[in-house]
Amino acid sequence: MQDYSTEFAGKRVLVTGGSRGIGAAAAQRLIDGGAKVVVTARSRHEETPAKAIFISGDLRTKEGAEAVAKEAISILDGLDILIHSAGAARVQLTSIDQIAETEWLDSLDINFLAGLRITHAVLPALKAAGKAAIVYVSAGGLIPFGTPLAHYGAAKAALNNYAQNLAKELAPAGIRVNVVTPGPIITPGGDEVRNTITGAMGITDAQFFAGVPLQGRGGKAEELAEPIAFLVSDRASYITGHNHFVTGGWGELV
């Protein structure tokens, strides 16, 4: 079996939304591969990897994103990899036309513009690295979750489009950009959203996950961390500008 314990030795990594869930799992996977990792979120959690360097930050403003980028790059003395996993979803149990404009704007700010801000803030460091990689975690941008999360999906669709354009622009500089689309992953944030939806529908978790072709189960954060690790590794040196589904067959097959 291939030993990946030193695959990321010497790599400098920033993971947004890295205090728990998919971001924390991705951070831990790269730490296990030898990387030096900074994670950022508004607060630390029990899931936050012990060996990660934590920065408290808020990417909902340009100033906040730039402050995180500056501190992370200073700590790491540069940057090779950005994994953007930050995001948030507030379920709206109403019709699309009744979702308040403030909710659309807030979702756009958190789920699209935050990614744009942190990317633009770290781009000089990534370009200086000579060879770098970016991965965005973007659920709902291609597989609509339905009205309760229409505002969230629309913002993620914008992130997907941005990522594809960015991939083309940065390819000559040796910077690869990819998106990972997760299916129903069991995480603290995902659980909260799912519980709200299943409660409104009057169904159980088992009934909800029954629609997943692969074993009728929810995914684990670690099952997202591995493809993310692959995409930012040299093993994926010829892959850029793509959206990679990690869904257990859910969504795109129906």
Instruction: Give every CB contact of residue 70 below 8 A, 6+ residues apart in sequence.
Output: 121
- State both tokens at 217: 């189960």
Q: Are 206 and 218 in contact (CB under 8 A)?
A: no
Residues 6+ apart with CB under 8 A from 172: none
* CB-count burial class (<10 Å; 0-12, 13-18, 19+) for 192: middle
Q: Which strand (E) or helix (H) includes residue 125? A: helix 114-129
Catalytic residue at 162? no
Q: H or E segment at 84?
A: strand 81-84
Catalytic residue among 4, 136, 152, 162, which?
152
- CA dist 27 and 223 (Å) reads 13
Cβ neighbours, 10 Å, residue 124: 12
Angle, vertex CA 182, rays to CA 64 and CA 69, nearest 5: 20
Angle at 78 between CA 174 and CA 22, to 5 degrees: 80
Give the residue numbers annotated as catalytic, written as ranges: 152
